[in-house]
């Protein structure tokens, strides 16, 4: 039981650290939106003009993850001293994870889900 609490404490600390860092990254944008809404609107217009560029960047990132997946898994397996079964499991998860990333990209980032909801 004590070992389980130590594991949860470590993961909770990592999760808290990630959440705090994401809040730190989002804070300047929230400040900009609150105190300078006109400049925030201008920034949104600039970003919306390059939607195709950002879409291409996201798809290239997904493709890069698919290509680099075996190298990443072997690196983590060696660093964390995984058993061969665990390494093989994660190597086999490459296309499943890539498929879910593509579904997420199409439904949410491309706005198809919103279009389907509006059509209904």
pTM attached to this predicted model: 0.67
Separation CA 36–CA 49 (nearest Å): 20
> How many Å is the Cα radius of gyration of the chain?
20
pLDDT string in tens for the chain (120-residue length): 667 677 788 788 888 999 999 999 999 989 988 998 888 888 888 888 998 999 999 999 999 999 999 999 999 999 999 999 999 999 999 999 999 999 999 988 888 877 878 887
């Amino acid at each position: 039981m004590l070992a389980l609490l130590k594991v949860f404490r470590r993961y909770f600390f990592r999760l808290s650290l990630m959440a705090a860092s994401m809040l730190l990254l989002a804070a300047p944008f929230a400040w900009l939106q609150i105190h300078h809404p006109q400049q925030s609107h201008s920034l949104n217009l600039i970003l919306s003009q390059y939607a195709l560029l950002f879409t291409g960047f996201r798809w290239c990132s997904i493709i890069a993850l698919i290509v680099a997946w075996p190298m990443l898994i072997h690196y983590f397996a060696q660093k964390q001293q995984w058993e061969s079964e665990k390494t093989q499991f994660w190597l086999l998860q490459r296309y499943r994870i890539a498929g879910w990333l593509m579904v997420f990209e199409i439904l949410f980032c491309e706005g198809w889900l919103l279009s389907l909801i509006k059509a209904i």
